[in-house]
Amino acid sequence: MAKFEKANSINEWMDQRLAVNTLKKVMQTEYWIPKDINFLWAMGMVLAATFGILLVSGIFLLMYYKPDVNLAFDSVNYTIMTEVGYGWLWRHIHGVAASLVFLIIYIHMFTGIYYGSYKKGRELIWLSGMLLFVTFSAEAFSGYMLPWGQMSYWAGMVITNLFSGGSLEAYGLVEWIRGDYVPGDAFLTRFFMLHVLLLPLAIIGLIVLHFGTLRIPHVNNQEGAEIDFEEAAELYKAGKVKESKVIPFSPVFLSKDIFVMGVYFILFFYLTFYHFQFAMDPVNFDPADGLKTPAHIYPEWYFLWSYEILRPFSKDLGLIAFGIAQVIFLALPFLDRSPNVAPASRRGLFHIWFWIMLIDMLVLTFMGKLPPQGIWNTIGLVAALTFFALWIALPIITKSEKKL
């Protein structure tokens, strides 16, 4: 066993047993961040903070929620909203955070795409990030089932119906997923389990992995410059702060992160107190009724683009298109064949690709909310085909990109 000297402080006592000082160095004071980055690089920490809020508010909601088809709707809309002190506040916080987390995820993703932060050496950061996106999507979907309102029921019906297409019907896959012929008690309790246990655990594991993948390649910077981190760190430690290209994560960079978080939380609580309705569908304030299909079924805004990709196609083709759209971003580091790590503005055709992709996804989002009729249907179909055409074009246009 190691020798334990008499410790003169709690810190020393902990350090002898847990190497807390080494941990502090590795994760904070000697975790080097490039100077040349902007506020968009704070989105990762904003995401981590929003996830924290989702966990805490979720725990409060869990104390009164009842995962039973006869009780769920009232436990949310009556008990939590009117009987429990500040229950409404926790519900609004949870709903607003669930919506904003996707806005920030999309900003974080598109920042990574714009600056090429998924390229050589950083592939695992991207892949773990995309796994977080997919798991967050499942988390949001499962949470949407829990109030057991009309939209919970019918969104659950439409999405699980996808698994009844073609030969899947013969395997009884959709009944297996639902635990019944239609969404019912077994369906609700399994989505409850996913939402409060399995998926949050997976998200926590993936966040740890995501942070771990950042450690060796370090975060990218606005110019995509390759930095000699050891040399830059030595300069910083020698007091040549101006000459060094890096700053330590804590306390220097963290103070900037906290400033951005402050601004974000002003917006967050403004929305929570004054505009929480945007995160709650009015149709979901009617209890689930398997005999009354709502006139128009659509998911929350953050799923609209992929929902619109599914809609114009037949059931089988729709499922394939939807599946591909959900995971195609995983392949980005391998489909972008250019060696350049640089902002899109300096990458010729890729710059155009980036903006068309962004606009296309916005068009899909708007079309996803509109009823699938006439001209909206045609625009939706064109936007869906453009989405796939862009992915096919990506390796071709990036292969011919000139080395910067």
**Which residues bind to ligand HEM, rule: CB under 6 A?**
41, 43-45, 47-48, 51, 105, 108-109, 112, 115, 117-118, 122, 125-126, 129-130, 132-133, 207, 210, 214, 219-220
Nearer to ligand HEM, 60 or 114 (CB): 114
Smallest gap from Cβ 375 to ligand HEM, in A, equals 33
Nearer to ligand HEM, 279 or 288 (CB): 279
Nearer to ligand HEM, 49 or 196 (CB): 49
Q: In this structure, what token pair is assigned to residue 277?
A: 């309705």
Q: How many CA atoms lie within 13 A of 301 on its CB side?
A: 16
Smallest gap from Cβ 363 to ligand HEM, in A, equals 21
Smallest gap from Cβ 342 to ligand HEM, in A, equals 12
The number of angstroms, rounded, from the C-alpha of 279 to the middle of its chain's C-alpha atoms is 16
Nearer to ligand HEM, 207 or 310 (CB): 207
Nearer to ligand HEM, 72 or 130 (CB): 130
Dihedral angle sign, alpha carbons of residues 299, 110, 309, 207: negative
Smallest gap from Cβ 117 to ligand HEM, in A, equals 4
How many angstroms separate the CA atoms of 59 and 54, rounded? 8
Nearer to ligand HEM, 19 or 216 (CB): 216
321 touches 313 (CB < 8 A): yes
Smallest gap from Cβ 135 to ligand HEM, in A, equals 9
∠ Cα 175 179 183 (to 5°): 80
Nearer to ligand HEM, 87 or 112 (CB): 112
Smallest gap from Cβ 77 to ligand HEM, in A, equals 29
How many angstroms separate the CA atoms of 340 and 347, rounded? 8
Smallest gap from Cβ 394 to ligand HEM, in A, equals 16
Smallest gap from Cβ 336 to ligand HEM, in A, equals 12
Nearer to ligand HEM, 207 or 325 (CB): 207
Q: In this structure, what token pair is assigned to residue 71?
A: 């009780």
For residue 34, the cross-strand partners are: 246
Smallest gap from Cβ 217 to ligand HEM, in A, equals 7
Question: Following DSSP, what letter does each residue of 158-217 receive, concatenated?
Answer: HHHHGGGSTTHHHHTHHHHHHTSSSS-HHHHHHHHHIIIIIHHHHHHHHHHHHHHHHHTT
Backbone angles phi, psi at 287, to 5 degrees: -65, 150
Backbone angles phi, psi at 300, to 5 degrees: -65, 160
Nearer to ligand HEM, 51 or 65 (CB): 51
Largest separation between any pair of C-alpha atoms in the chain: 80
Cβ of 243: how many Cβ atoms within 10 Å?
Answer: 10
DSSP 6: P
160 touches 174 (CB < 8 A): yes
93 touches 296 (CB < 8 A): no
